[in-house]
């Protein structure tokens, strides 16, 4: 199976059950491939796997949407009863345009319709703490890359403001995680939806 995103070509090699991959090789380029031992992408699978996906940078391949690539795959396979097989294949692939590429870090808006991952109970989960760190700490160009503060908006008559569910004490672990990444927190408590910056 071969497909691409805006910047990456993927080549997935799979065995038909009960065969599993023990070693695999993949090639993508603008010229015809040589022997499988020359393929730039190679892996030994221990334990054996049903499928394995290789990723090639379209920039490194020097291709754009509409360009044609030569793609090849090769694998050694084995069954649980030690039946051996060797397979290989080659095809031409036309790089597809991707109109809905995700924005780079810091150029997007993330909306959560649930406060629970961020309250002290939710933040006892290390994965939620990691998510909080990833929401504020990332590498990007422009003003957000140099930002030093996080805006908290619990205004507009939010229900959690009246119940205490989103009080500073209920969000102390979340706030501490953000501050631990070197950010200050600025309170907005807006009365209307502000215009995006």
Please name every residue paired with 76 in a beta bridge, in sequence order, or none if there are none. Answer: 23, 86
pTM for this prediction: 0.51
Task: Specify the pLDDT at position 1.
Answer: 85
Please name every residue paired with 77 in a beta bridge, in sequence order, or none if there are none. Answer: 21, 85
Task: Specify the pLDDT at position 43.
Answer: 92
Question: DSSP string of 36-82?
Answer: GGG-SEEEEEEEEESEEEEEEEHHHHT--TT-EEEEEEEEEEE-TT-
Task: Specify the pLDDT at position 30.
Answer: 93
- What are the backbone dihedrals phi and psi of residue 70, each rounded to the nearest 5 degrees, phi first? -90, 125
Spatial separation of the C-alpha atoms in residues 129 and 121, rounded to whole Å: 11
Fold observed for domain 2-94:
Immunoglobulin-like (2.60.40)
Task: Specify the pLDDT at position 197.
Answer: 47
Task: Specify the pLDDT at position 153.
Answer: 74
10 Å Cβ neighbour count for 29?
17
Residue linked to tokens 């290390």: 126
Task: Specify the pLDDT at position 100.
Answer: 61
Q: Where are the domains of the chain?
A: 2-94, 116-187
Low-confidence ranges of the chain (pLDDT < 70): 99-111, 113, 141-142, 154-159, 161-162, 190-197
Tokens of 2: 């071969």
Give tens-digit pLDDT for 71-90.
Answer: 999 999 999 999 999 999 99
Task: Specify the pLDDT at position 106.
Answer: 58
């Amino acid at each position: 199976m071969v497909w691409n995103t805006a910047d990456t070509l993927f080549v997935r090699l799979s065995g038909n059950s009960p065969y599993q991959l023990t070693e695999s090789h993949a090639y993508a380029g603008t010229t015809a491939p040589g022997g499988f031992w020359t393929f730039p992408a190679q892996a030994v699978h221990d334990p054996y796997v049903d499928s394995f996906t290789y990723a090639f940078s379209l920039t490194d391949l020097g291709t754009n949407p509409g360009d044609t690539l030569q793609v090849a795959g090769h694998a050694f396979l084995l069954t649980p009863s030690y039946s051996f097989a060797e397979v290989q294949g080659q095809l031409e692939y036309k790089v597809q345009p991707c109109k809905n590429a995700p924005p780079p870090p810091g150029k997007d808006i993330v909306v959560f319709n649930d406060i629970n991952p961020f309250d002290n109970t939710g933040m006892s989960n290390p994965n939620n703490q990691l998510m909080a760190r990833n929401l504020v700490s990332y590498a990007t160009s422009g003003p957000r890359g140099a930002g030093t503060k996080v805006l908290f908006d619990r205004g507009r008559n939010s229900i959690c403001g009246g119940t205490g569910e989103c009080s500073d004490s209920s969000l102390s672990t979340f706030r501490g995680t953000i501050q631990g990444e070197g950010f200050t927190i600025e309170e907005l408590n807006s009365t209307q939806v502000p215009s995006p910056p």
